[in-house]
Structure 1
């Protein structure tokens, strides 16, 4: 991706509300065709970051560039056609049909209405396009919100809690659609509290806490930064572990547990595979949820309450 250009650039960006800092000296570059996961508990600065990129608010200090332009300037109005945005808890005019809602937003965005029917089909609402929005379930409204965000084939898509109200199958369909957009060169910023299942769809994660950047990088990068172990669970009878691993062994309800540094993972696996009496071997690498918990706890010293807040 070395030839890709930066779609979004934030340099030393600060945002204060009545003297209270919502974002502290944030540096961020997002490349063309990249999917960035933006994570943090309530009040971490995620929504402020999205509003800055959309040009809805200006930075107190620092520089924000989107497609090379300041999104708050009037001459950047043409940027809006390249942007798609899905906010959390999306709401529409209840008396309009789904198709009428899309056509209305197409007019606002200055794009052709001819793709509205195919967009409804893409998000699984082709059968409900002529029904009034007041008859839609929460999941259906969320899908309509996604269709609205995709109007005009945006080059930058900002999604705030996009899978709220979607069932597991609809969530998988949504992420498949994100993969297709990425392949077409669309850049995606994805905010979510629902961490399980997200990591395989993002190129990079950015974790915010109280307006500060706590960690940033690919899942692999974050694993090395956090230095969390790989966890092996062994099941079997009469297991005789090598001395180098026996010292790391504990027992829990799943059997014998080994916490091994990531750098020693392959060595440990080679020693364990041929172990006499071994019936089952599970390996757990630090997940996005594990990493998020680690960085929040490291920052606040009170990570449990922060994680509980994030789950609400």
Structure 2
């Protein structure tokens, strides 16, 4: 596995503002990494540094083996970028816009039709962009980012304006790109979307990296409880309560569902105890802490990764 992006002690200052402060990480091929953080956390600044649109105040940023400060056009040909707010000439048609960008990258014009079809805009290829909805413009921006099958794909809030079906289509494309070896960096506030689509999460806060790892690794570090949810059979809620004893974390969700918190060390013991008892429930569900909870945990001043 090769490293396609390397940041070493990178800082970017704007006067007294430390937009990025001593950040280091490496991104390898065939990896989908979620970059999360509140507005002003430094996410977009990091992306601009990787694109070579901005130079670090200190430290180094290397993409595909080249220092981005050098502004290598050869490297940029292998980069794909979708900004948070896409803006295209409204007078051009979708096909004309893509032909322009395909030509800039030196790719075959024959790829235009394939790209329009891939992002679901073949039916509107010859309509002016000024008539496109926000979601259509976002898809057109994605098509532009995919030109030439980039080795590195940087996506800033990529699903803005997309309906649920198109979001699924977008993440299917992301998985295809990752499986083909592309390094993908996703910056997004839609944390629930990222859980099943990112292999790794980097959390930023006030310009600093405060956590970095897979969801399982972050869960082990955070040691947040798993929610165990049991659905009782008819009239079984009180019997479950009696069997549980006086647990302060026991919660009744509705007339037939009870839930409680289990620490990482105790959840297996609880399941074994439950399996050997005649407890009146017909379903049990274990809900590990999601990215929302992990994000809040690490931003709450607890020990970082």
Q: Secondary structure at the match of 1:298?
A: coil
Q: Secondary structure at the match of 1:196?
A: helix
Q: Secondary structure at the match of 1:216?
A: strand
Q: Secondary structure at the match of 2:265?
A: helix
User: How far apart, CA to CA, are the structure 1 residues paired with 2:225 and 2:83?
Assistant: 36
Partner residue, 1:198: 194
Partner residue, 1:307: none
TM-score (norm 2): 0.92
**What is the count of residue pairs matched by the alignment?**
295
Alignment of 1:41-80 (within 5 A): 41-74=38-71, 76-80=72-76
Cα distance per residue 1:138-179 (max 9 Å; x no partner): 111111000000001100000001101111010001001111
Deviation at 1:33, TM superposition (A): 1.1
Partner residue, 2:270: 268
Contact 1:214 1:295 in 2 (8 A): yes
Out of 281, 289, 294, the position equivalent to 2:292 is 289
Q: 1:82 to 1:241 in 2, by over 3 A?
A: farther
For structure 2, the 5+ residue unaligned runs are none
Deviation at 1:233, TM superposition (A): 1.8
Contact 1:239 1:275 in 2 (8 A): no
Partner residue, 1:29: 26
Deviation at 1:208, TM superposition (A): 0.2
TM-score (norm 1): 0.90
User: How far apart, CA to CA, are the structure 1 residues paired with 2:95 and 2:190?
Assistant: 29
Q: Secondary structure at the match of 1:201?
A: coil
Contact 2:253 2:259 in 1 (8 A): no
Contact 1:208 1:214 in 2 (8 A): yes
Contact 1:37 1:204 in 2 (8 A): yes
Contact 1:249 1:256 in 2 (8 A): no
Contact 1:199 1:288 in 2 (8 A): yes
User: How far apart, CA to CA, are the structure 2 residues paired with 1:30 and 1:23?
Assistant: 18
User: How far apart, CA to CA, are the structure 2 residues paired with 1:276 and 1:259?
Assistant: 18
Out of 213, 227, 231, the position equivalent to 1:235 is 231
Partner residue, 1:279: 282
Contact 1:248 1:259 in 2 (8 A): no
Deviation at 1:106, TM superposition (A): 1.2
Q: CA RMSD in A?
A: 1.7
Partner residue, 2:180: 184
